[in-house]
Amino acid sequence: MKVQLYAHPDCWLFSVEHEEDFESFGCGPGGIGDWLVPDTIYGLDISPACRIHDWYYRFWPEDSEEARAKADRIFKNNLLRIVRAKTSNRLLLRVRKIRCNTYYLMVRKFGAGAFYEDRNTEEFMREVEV
pLDDT of residue 69: 97
- Going by the DSSP 8-state scheme, the letter that residue 41 receives in this structure is E
Q: Could you tell me the domains of the chain?
A: 9-113 (1.20.90.10)
Rounded Cα gap, residues 2 and 105, in angstroms: 26
Name the least confident of 19-23, 73-77, 95-99: 19-23
Rounded Cα gap, residues 104 and 24, in angstroms: 20
Rounded Cα gap, residues 100 and 42, in angstroms: 11
The pTM assigned to this predicted structure is 0.87
pLDDT category at 52 given cuts 50, 70, 90 is very high
